[in-house]
A and B are shown apart, each in its own frame.
Chain A
Amino acid sequence: MAQTPPRPTPCTTDPDTAGFWAAAQQEQLVVLTCRQCRSVVHLPRPRCTQCGSEEMEWTVVSGRGHLYSHTVVYHQIHPAFPVPYTVVLVSLEEYPEVRYTGYLPGAPDLVAGVAMNVFFESLDGVSLPNWRSA
């Protein structure tokens, strides 16, 4: 069996999303919010999609959430992810309309709505927010 290559690492230098990865490096989970109208902008954009302000800031959240959806991948596609593995979408406790993605090896027993907690794993020096059952 061929050796599993490392998982792809995220780009952490994009002007619109770098703050997310900088916070993750400090083991903090953040969402982009507007200083003017306090709206959450997710995915991050260069301006507030509600009021048009360009004064945006990263707001720290608790890292608690609930399972929104999940899939167990059984068909091997990307060589860095041996099957089976599970992709989760987690809805944040403070901002339920904001979802982040997580990766779990194997096929753990998961039911929509279960409490999930963020944790941070290191991928080739990049701190990656990930999720597991609370």
Chain B
Amino acid sequence: MTPVPGERASGTGCSIVGVGTTEYSRASGRTALALATEASLRALDDAGIKAAEVDGIVRCTDDVVLHNDLIETLALPNVEFWAHGGLGGTAPSAMIGYAVNAIRSGSAKVVLAYRSLNGRSGRRVGAGYGSQQAVVAGGEEGGRYDEYFLPYGLTTAGQMYALIAQRHMTEFGTTREQLGHIAMTCRRNAQSNPAAQMYGRPMTMDDYFNARMISSPLGLFDYSLETDGACAVVVTSTEQGRDSKTAPIAIAAVAQGGSAGVQAGRTLSSLMRKDLLTFPSHLVAENLYRRANLGPSDIDVAQLYDCFTITVLVQLEDYGFCVKGEGGPFAASGALDTTLPINTSGGHLSEAYMHGMNHVVEGVRQLRGESTRPVPGAEVCLVSSGAPPATSAMILTVDR
């Protein structure tokens, strides 16, 4: 369908009708399955939909909880569709996209998407790769090419992002203080969100600078918060959603984007791409804005994947909020608290690291007017999923 110039495209015809989360903690004392089940039941309750109506499930490829597991714990009588999609943080928006496609194609009517992890008390994401002695080979094992990285002590995503940040500083004069503004915005937003791990722990720029260095130029508060918890989302057609308990939040568009040159694998190999300082998010943005017939100036609020501060800074450029190289000054301009409020629940940096799924939940709450840091009049929310490999994003709007 060709969008009418100047008008919002009609959208996917699908909506998010329920969201649910568990408590976020450093030690849940429960299984990831128990967490996924709780978040799912909360999302269904939020939607006013009985669990028995769920006929589709979308799981992140990295989740330890299988669709089969949830079918049992939720006692689902007939699941006709399931999909496993997306690497870690790049997955959540794409997962919603699979739900949309399943509904549009008639494969399912009520689709549950979830992310559950004991990310702090269980396997810590920050532990990185290569705790084993033998190094996984080249084109095997998902194109990791570990032999070019692990023998050199390059073993974590944080170290990779540190190299990206350092290069951004070299090429564009980006500063730590500019990164600090991103961390501060997320921390400020978390102060009104009692569910956030950093609730009650405000931060000054001095605090940011005084925190210990982890992998230069990134310090402690440039890093997100490994977390135990789960998020779940229920997707139906918008028409069906209008009968649900809460107002449906329309999925205007979902996009994925990958292209040759981005590099294989999921993490460290990204360091070998020609243009290190542009993420595939740039391609996702093109696809997304085209599908939604919207542009960056139409975005009222954004939930930007923030595994690290630098991840946000580069996405500000890639999603067209400023030109390439200007992410630092843009972040320091105050825009992230005013004209482009971001990560209104606190994001990964200050709410919880739910691998991008809490950004989906907050996008919905924001447009419902349920956010603890409401943006007055917000009708259009960008939700981005991870970087730096091929990734996904979506635009949510109020139903009108």
- Residues of chain A touching chain B, judged by Cβ–Cβ distance below 8 Å, are 5-17, 21, 42-46, 49, 68-75, 77-78, 80-81, 85, 87, 89, 97-103, 112-113, 123, 128, 130
Contacts and interface: CB of A to CB of B under 8 A. Distances in A.
B215 A8 contact: no
Interface string B123-145: 00011101111111111100001
B1 interface: no
A69 B140 contact: no
A93 to B, nearest CB: 16
Contact of B151 (A69, A85, A97, A128): A128
Interface size, B (range): 35 or more
Contact of A103 (B153, B163, B271): B153
A128 B276 CA distance: 24
Interface of B: 126-128, 130-140, 145-156, 159, 162-164, 166-167, 170, 212-218, 260-261, 263-264, 269, 271-272, 274, 276
Contact of A123 (B137, B151, B271, B276): B151
A78 B130 contact: yes
Contact of A9 (B128, B135, B139, B269): B135
B127 A69 contact: no
Contacts of B167: 68-69, 89, 112
22 contacts: A8-B134, A9-B134, A10-B135, A12-B147, A14-B138, A16-B138, A17-B137, A44-B138, A69-B170, A71-B163, A73-B162, A74-B212, A77-B126, A77-B128, A78-B128, A87-B154, A87-B163, A101-B149, A101-B154, A103-B154, A128-B151, A130-B152
B145 to A, nearest CB: 5
Contacts of B145: 17, 43
B214 A74 contact: yes
A75 B215 contact: yes
A130 to B, nearest CB: 7
Contacts of B138: 11, 14-17, 43-44
B180 to A, nearest CB: 18
Contacts of B154: 87, 101, 103
A85 B213 CA distance: 13
10 A-B pairs closest in CB distance? A10-B147, A14-B137, A14-B138, A11-B137, A71-B162, A17-B138, A81-B153, A103-B152, A69-B167, A112-B170
Contacts of B155: 77-78, 81
Given A71-B159, A78-B128, A87-B153, A5 B260 contact: no
A78 B37 CA distance: 34
A9 B150 CA distance: 8
Contacts of B146: 10-11
Contact of B272 (A16, A43, A80, A85): A43
Given A5-B133, A103-B153, A97 B274 contact: yes
A49 B170 CA distance: 29
Contacts of A6: 133
Contacts of A8: 130, 132-135, 150-151
Contacts of B150: 8, 10
Contacts of A15: 138-139
Contacts of A9: 133-135, 151
A14 B136 CA distance: 9
A79 to B, nearest CB: 8
Given A7-B151, A8-B134, A87-B153, A69 B269 contact: no
A5 B216 CA distance: 24
A16 to B, nearest CB: 4
A123 B147 CA distance: 12
A43 B264 contact: yes
Contacts of A80: 153
A46 B272 CA distance: 17
A42 B272 contact: yes
Contact of B152 (A49, A87, A113): A87
Contacts of B151: 7-10, 103, 123, 128
B118 to A, nearest CB: 19
B215 A73 contact: yes
Chain B CB count within 10 A is highest, among A8, A69, A74, for A8
Contact of B153 (A14, A85, A100): A85
Contacts of B148: 10, 17, 43, 100-101
A14 B152 contact: no
A77 B129 CA distance: 10
Nearest to A124: B133
Contacts of A97: 274
Contacts of B212: 74-75
Contacts of A17: 137-139, 145, 147-148
Contacts of B153: 7, 73, 78, 80-81, 85, 87, 103
